[in-house]
Chains A and B, each alone.
Chain A
Amino acid sequence: MLAIDAAAYRSPWRRHHPAAKALLAGTLLICAVSLPPWPGAPITAAITLAVALGWARVPPGMLLRAARTPVSFALTGSLTFLITISADGIGWAPDGARRMADVVARCVAALLCQLLFASTTPVADALPRLIRVGVPAVLVEVALLIYRMLFVVLDTTRTIRTAQAGRLGHRSISATWRSLGGLGSAVFVRSFDRARRLEVGLAGRGYTGALTVAIKEIPLRTRFLAVAPLPGLLAVVATLTLERG
């Protein structure tokens, strides 16, 4: 299982409706991307972090590991702001450091909001409810199928990779290439074979094209829904107060 999804299944917030959690994380996300980066982004990031660690009890280690790669991408991508290209050639951009700080701050704040939602809401809880807000049923069903098959295919990939490594399949560049080609084609063949076997099994049980899945009913109109916009509101008030002060 993937670490973020595993955390979402274990989250104490799983008992709350996905729409209420989307409202909470969504308002914070809007604050992260639309408030002035300074002081808006650090304030939003701090509030989101406090909500994630203190209230939603998201494991800090998981949060750190999940944020590492996107933050490093934002940092390396933003290095380009430090230089400028003009008719005289390449030089240091006078305002580059501030621009880089703006983008990285906004990225970190927005990423924390995304992780707050993802690590408290399993995809399987959120996806089926999208039909009720007008997303085409066929799209949701295919997305759910992809989600359910994903873990089996990932597991198959890991097993094949381990087998290839055990047969010295990665000892040289040419062997690595051969192994990768074999891995890609084997995963394709096994995925299709599994889908066909699933289809035969479902046909035997009267499959007509509709894959109905039982969804656990979670009450939406609770106290959690009422307080969900408050962290976002707090971020707006704190940012505006600091800006005027």
Chain B
Amino acid sequence: MPPVHIAEGYLPPLHAVAWTAAAAPFIVHGVIRLGREVRENPEAKLLLGASGAFCFVLSALKIPSVTGSCSHPTGTGLGAILFRPPIMTVLGTITLLFQALLLAHGGLTTLGANAFSMAIVGPWAGYAVYRACRGFGLLPAVFAGAFVADLTTYCVTSVQLALAFPDQESGFAGALAKFGGIFAVTQIPLAISEGLLTVLVVRLLRSSAAEDLLRLGVLRQKDVATKEQVPA
């Protein structure tokens, strides 16, 4: 199962335009935040470049699914936790554009719809859950954030497809049940897999790149201090 990119030409033209219009304000907001960050801190541009390349590669990793198949993580949860949702919106949209042009995954007419699910709703929902669960500890919050970001992305895609192709008998509700049902079978296990992978990555980063996580605000000074006090 490929990552949930809506393929080029899959959406009717009106829907493609509408989703592009819906995604545009979030992307503009992200670009404004990106511009401010780069003005205040010119060297951040290079780190943002590295972050974008990391997001692209992350979404190309194959992860084993509980159902026995293989899939790719969306990477939106980890991206939102590390770089915050507005920046992730921009990085995610650029990643989607490159995936369309370099890998033919997704499309140019469906870029708005894909950006809305994968670079906007997924990161914002995942980040909100991560912040809400942060009190339970870093790793449980990371798992919850990545799980919700992944699942929300698929739910939004189901809604987009159901709106574009309502069922002939039962309309939008029936189509949502069809698309949601298919995604539920394949994507709930994948969302769990992505949550687990994200926890593994953050756990390793906590020991190998604590300074970066501190700078990005993922770790707090007291987290590092507490860890250092634990005897070997």
Contacts and interface: CB of A to CB of B under 8 A. Distances in A.
A111 B104 contact: yes
B170 A185 contact: no
B155 interface: no
Contact of B102 (A123, A143, A207): A123
A185 B179 contact: no
Nearest to B32: A136
A91 B13 CA distance: 29
Given A77-B10, A95-B168, A5 B177 contact: no
Contacts of A114: 8, 100-101, 104, 107-108
B104 A115 contact: yes
A146 B168 contact: no
B205 A145 contact: no
B57 interface: yes
Nearest to A103: B10
Interface in B68-85: 78
Interface stretch (B112-120, B121-129, B193-201, B222-230): B193-201
Nearest to A71: B7
Nearest to B78: A184
Contact of B7 (A74, A86, A138): A74
Nearest to A200: B43
Contact of A145 (B48, B107, B197): B48
A123 B94 CA distance: 12
Given A188-B205, A189-B208, A149 B7 contact: no
Interface string B38-49: 100011011111
Contacts of B201: 181, 184-185, 188
Interface residues of B, number: 70
Interface of B: 2, 5, 7-10, 12-13, 16, 31, 34-35, 38, 42-43, 45-54, 56-58, 60-61, 63-64, 78, 90-91, 94-95, 97-98, 100-105, 107-109, 161, 165, 167-170, 174-175, 177-179, 182, 196-197, 200-201, 203-205, 208-209, 212
A57 interface: no
Nearest to A149: B53
A213 interface: no
Interface string A8-44: 0000000000000000000001001110000000000
A53 B96 CA distance: 26
Given A33-B9, A185-B205, 9 more contacts: A34-B13, A69-B105, A86-B174, A110-B9, A111-B9, A146-B49, A150-B98, A181-B204, A184-B201
